[in-house]
């Protein structure tokens, strides 16, 4: 397997609520007291901005619905993105890359998801 390096990310900074390429979670009031494994989940862009799919056809940017992030899980970008040597790749059906699980960048995949939810 050919190894590739992606551009560096800023460090995770909980104090400023920046979690690059992470899943984030926070508890739901009352519900999480009764069932601690239930909560609200968001996903973060490469710059650490939280995307919160909090309702029907609604994507909040940097506004987590139920308060600040309580837990986070860093994800591996190499599992979702093209390697840099293919990042200039263009083809007739480039818009379908995310459908096939081969997004050009992490943010490209999130942007496509946001557009699909907003429609």
Supply φ then ψ for residue 118, to 5 degrees.
-70, -20
SS (H, E, C) 34-103: HCCCCEEEEEECCCCCEEEEEECCEEEECCCCCCCCCEEEECCHHHCECCHHHCCCCCCCHHHCCCCCCE
Mean pLDDT of 84-93: 56
User: What are the tens digits of pLDDT across the range 26-40?
Assistant: 999 999 999 999 999
Confidence (pLDDT) at 106: 76
Q: Tokens 């943010």 appear where?
A: 107
pTM: 0.71
């Amino acid at each position: 397997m050919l190894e590739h390096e992606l551009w560096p990310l800023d460090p995770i900074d909980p104090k400023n609520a920046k979690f690059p390429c992470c899943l984030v979670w926070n508890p739901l009031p009352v519900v999480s007291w009764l069932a601690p494994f239930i909560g609200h989940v968001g996903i973060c862009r490469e710059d650490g901005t939280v995307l919160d799919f909090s309702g029907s056809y609604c994507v909040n940017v940097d506004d987590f619905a139920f308060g600040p992030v309580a837990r986070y899980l860093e994800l591996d970008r190499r599992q979702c993105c093209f390697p840099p040597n293919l990042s200039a790749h263009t083809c007739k059906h480039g818009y379908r890359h995310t459908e096939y699980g081969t997004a050009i960048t992490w943010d490209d995949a999130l942007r496509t998801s946001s557009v699909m939810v907003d429609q």
